[in-house]
């Protein structure tokens, strides 16, 4: 049975490395579409400090179009299989039961579902049956439309309530409490101000959700907007790693369990430094 404490000792932030096996992801689309390139990069992420590598074959950037099941399977499963054979702990980033099942068959340990099991409700039963880990994420709308004027009356309360409901659904399906983690969905149907409000309220969100948190802020557009306020420019996502590290340190100081990042080496170093200072 997978538990989130399997990744790192209690009290140390775990690092999830991002591996997009897609042609159109916002930061690295197309770089790792070739299976050999993807496996090489996944192994490098692990060597540089990723406790788990998250493999996804369908972009969830704003405006992204859906991918057919067969194509997602073609992209993802050979990569999962090869990484597991190389002793890398793997999660699969998918909303599709067929892809999750094939990835778990190939040795993946976690299902990371940006719809929190709403796209295909059978997902929760599958994760429970396989005793896998589960990431339940909040998203307003869908990738194609989520950034079209997102609105909340109280973003912290609404996201917290959603996460609590999905954590409850996962528990009711038989997923172990220690296998569930909640993701507030930074950048998924949120403005800059919404994202900042959620980051400011991380301990409150964990309490509302009834589960530890995973935060994925890596290289996202809100960081560029935030930097612009101070007169800096970062139009290229690759220029946002320093800002991402600031969010990693912020999360480490607020008892977040996992951060999902592109730059695993920087994040692992930052997490270790915070751990040493706090010891």
Q: Which residues are catalytic?
A: 220, 260
Beta carbons within 8 Å of 81's beta carbon, 6+ residues apart: 106, 107
C-alpha R_g of the chain: 17
Report yes or no: 195 and 154 within 8 Å, Cβ to Cβ.
Answer: no
Locate the DSSP E strands across the chain.
14-20, 52-56, 90-93, 110-113, 133-137, 180-183, 214-215, 258-261
Contact predicate 126/104, CB 8 Å: yes
Of 223, 214, 220, the closest CA to residue 251 belongs to 214
């Amino acid at each position: 049975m997978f538990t989130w404490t399997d990744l790192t000792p209690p009290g140390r932030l775990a690092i999830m490395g991002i591996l997009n096996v897609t042609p159109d992801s916002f930061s690295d689309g197309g770089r790792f579409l070739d299976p050999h390139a993807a496996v090489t990069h996944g192994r490098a992420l692990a060597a540089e400090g990723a406790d788990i590598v998250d493999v996804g074959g369908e972009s969830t950037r704003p405006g992204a179009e859906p991918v057919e099941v067969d194509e997602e399977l073609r992209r993802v499963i050979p990569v999962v299989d090869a990484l597991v054979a190389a002793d890398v702990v793997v999660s699969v980033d998918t909303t599709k039961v067929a892809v999750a099942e094939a990835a778990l068959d190939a040795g993946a340990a976690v299902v990371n579902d940006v719809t929190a099991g709403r796209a295909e409700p059978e997902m929760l039963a599958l994760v429970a049956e396989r005793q896998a880990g589960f990431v339940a994420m909040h998203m307003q709308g869908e990738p194609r439309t989520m950034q079209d004027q997102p609105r909340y009356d109280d973003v912290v309360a609404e996201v917290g309530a959603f996460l609590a409901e999905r954590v409850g659904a996962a528990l009711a399906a038989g997923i172990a409490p220690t296998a569930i983690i909640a993701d507030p969905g930074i950048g998924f149907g949120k403005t800059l101000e919404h994202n900042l409000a959620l980051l400011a309220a991380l301990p409150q969100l964990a309490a509302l959700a009834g589960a530890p948190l995973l935060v994925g802020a890596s290289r996202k557009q809100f960081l560029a907007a935030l930097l612009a306020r101070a007169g800096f420019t970062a139009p290229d996502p690759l220029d946002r790693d320093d800002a991402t590290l600031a969010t990693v340190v912020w999360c480490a100081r607020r008892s977040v369990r996992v951060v999902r990042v592109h730059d695993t080496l920087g994040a692992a170093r930052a997490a270790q430094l915070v751990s040493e200072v706090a010891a």
